[in-house]
Structure 1
Amino acid sequence: MSGTANRIQAEGVIKNIIREIVQECASRGEGVSETLVAFIVKAVVLEPQNDFQVDRVLASDDVKRLIDLCVRRLLDNKSSSLDTIKMQVYFDMNYTTRDEFLTEHRRVLETRLQPILREITDNRAASKDELESLYRKIVSSVLLRSGLGSPTDISVVREATAALQSVFPQTELGNFLSLSKRDKDRQLVELTQIVTGIRLFNK
């Protein structure tokens, strides 16, 4: 697996971890924001005594341990370090305008998307296997751009694939490949919007 794929996979895992921690805290009567949880996750992972290997994807046992450590820290109302982090999060969120935040988010997202988008738009797939691989990459790009679910989650991939097939079956790849790079980029954006809409509607 390439470095880019590893990074994308790791980011997907972290997003899922953050959501699980938010849900776990909520089930225990403590409402926490994803931003605060992200700060805590980063702090816990980087603490040497917790012995997390930051250069590889977390194993399932590591994920469970990380979630447990973060939940315990978030529920520790006597923690001064938690108060410090909360103040940091408040500062970061309130002293960055919404437009700046969204602009930066889009910039980071597009930067992360570039490698897979390039693989799609430069693709010269001809064989059945190559076309299937291209289609999977399109599904991944749709998921990454929408931010709704991880491309490493099988159920999410199946859901997105079904939604994509309803508006852009694999038989359409021939037409897609004949488009200019600009038109391919435009169609990928449109497909993301449509597929995201379908998935949200079906929730």
Structure 2
Amino acid sequence: MSRSQAERVIQILISELVEACAQRGQSVSETLVTFMVKSVVLHPANGFTVDCTLSSQDVQRLKQLCLDKLKEENGPGLDTIKMQLYFDTNYTSRREFLEEIHQVLESKLIGVSREITDSRARSREDFQALYHQIITYILLQSGIGSPTDFSCVQDTSAALQSVLPLNELGAFLVLLKKDKEQQLRELTMIVTGIRLFSEASKQEDELLSIHKLSTSWNMSWPGSDSSPVLNVMDE
């Protein structure tokens, strides 16, 4: 039996199962029946081998097993299958979820990106305004901080200055539009990386300070060899 023939047999079986359930007054979807057939075939206890051709006896046995499972309207087995089906049809993978967020974010940033790439800044004020727009874009694109948070803007500005100083913004303006868009993405990744590294370094310094304070406290606590309290007591 070829693959196409096997698929046709399974499709016929699914239709027969839906009809059999309907004849006894039980309404089931084709999707549920398909999921049930798959579940029964893959269950090791049922003795089906996925790679082997199903005989007519196998098909009849599969049909009966599925019917028995589908009869359990209030049974835990059917409820479990329904929950698995719901999860399978509604669950969004982490990758898909992040891609959706990225697409929504990109659509919202189109306007900001266009203002930056279409800028024809000439005066000092124009360059400063453009620089601030780039900072805003980086903050929105990275999702780390808000353009309305002065501290975040300050941190981002400092990180951007180390990569693209304000006085070198002219080199950015002469790029082609697509190159500007690419550089904006690269700047976002670099600046965000700098900010994350800086934040991690601060936390490490804080933990080190706490460790030193804790060590100092332990050294002065009764029971320590160098405890001043013990020295007084010994005297």
With the shorter chain as reference, the TM-score category is 0.5 to 0.7
Partner of 1:147: 143
Partner of 2:113: 117
Task: Measure how far apart 1:135 and its partner are.
Answer: 0.2
Task: Measure how far apart 1:155 and its partner are.
Answer: 0.5
Residue 183 in structure 1 maps to residue 187 in structure 2: no
Residue 161 in structure 1 maps to residue 157 in structure 2: yes
Task: Measure how far apart 1:171 and its partner are.
Answer: 1.1
For 1:202 and 1:123, locate their aligned partners in 2 and report how far apart those are by CA, in whole Å: 31
Task: Measure how far apart 1:112 and its partner are.
Answer: 0.9
For 1:98 and 1:156, locate their aligned partners in 2 and report how far apart those are by CA, in whole Å: 28
Percent of residue pairs bearing the same amino acid type: 58
Moved over 6 A (4+): none
Task: Measure how far apart 1:170 and its partner are.
Answer: 0.6
Task: Measure how far apart 1:99 and its partner are.
Answer: 2.0
Residue 173 in structure 1 maps to residue 198 in structure 2: no
Runs of 5+ consecutive residues of structure 2 not aligned to the other structure: 1-86, 200-235
Mapping for residues 23-172 of structure 1, pairs under 5 Å: 95-172=91-168
Residue 197 in structure 1 maps to residue 203 in structure 2: no
After superposition, the CA RMSD in angstroms is 1.1
For 1:180 and 1:154, locate their aligned partners in 2 and report how far apart those are by CA, in whole Å: 31
Amino acid at match of 2:198: N
Aligned residues: 111
Deviations 1:23-81 (A, max 9, x none): xxxxxxxxxxxxxxxxxxxxxxxxxxxxxxxxxxxxxxxxxxxxxxxxxxxxxxxxxxx
With structure 1 as the length reference, what TM-score do the two structures score?
A: 0.53
Task: Measure how far apart 1:98 and its partner are.
Answer: 1.4
Amino acid at match of 2:115: E
Runs of 5+ consecutive residues of structure 1 not aligned to the other structure: 1-90
With structure 2 as the length reference, what TM-score do the two structures score?
A: 0.46
Task: Measure how far apart 1:180 and its partner are.
Answer: 0.3
Amino acid at match of 2:94: R
Secondary structure of the corresponding residue to residue 160 of structure 1: helix
